[in-house]
Amino acid sequence: MAKSKEKSPIVSSINNKQRLYLRYFTAILIDLTVLNLFDEYWDLVQINSFTISLFAAIMLQVLLVITLKIEHKIGDYFKKKEGFMAKFLRIFSAWAVLFGSKFVILEALSRAFGDEVQFKGPYHGIVAFIVVIVVMLLTEAVSTKITKALGFR
């Protein structure tokens, strides 16, 4: 049976604002779930309450979106340039922004929530924090792939 390329009536009736809302709502719920699972099952992550984890998930999502926008803006600048050095600087700047932002985000969480949200372990908790962020991003990517496979764009 041939697969139809037509969009379902529900999908075609969703406008861009609604699509963005669903994307970020889902991402925040994923981040909330990941944070609470790490809190429950890993001693290196401690969050004092569900409400705090909800606010932390929202804050993380906002800061990750800002980080990606900055990284893309810098990347676009270097894409316009030619040569090896421009390509190297694009890759290096992307890495620097994405890696360096984790320290900024961790400090923002610390200032916003104090001891209510703690990442412990090697290098003042940065390793645990990076593990949590990577799991969040991977889970969001899997969710996006599933959503697209089901026909939602």
Per-residue pLDDT for the chain (153 aa), expressed as one digit of tens each?
455 555 555 556 778 898 889 889 999 999 999 999 999 999 999 999 999 999 999 999 999 899 989 988 988 888 888 888 888 888 888 888 888 888 899 899 999 999 999 999 888 888 999 999 999 989 999 998 998 888 876
pTM score above 0.75: yes
Report the alpha-carbon distance of residue 31 to residue 57 in Å, rounded: 5
Cβ pair 139, 78 in contact under 8 A = no
Q: How many CA atoms lie within 13 A of 79 on its CB side?
A: 7
Structure tokens at 116: 């209510």
96-121 tens-digit pLDDT: 888 888 889 989 999 999 999 999 98
Report the alpha-carbon distance of residue 133 to residue 148 in Å, rounded: 22
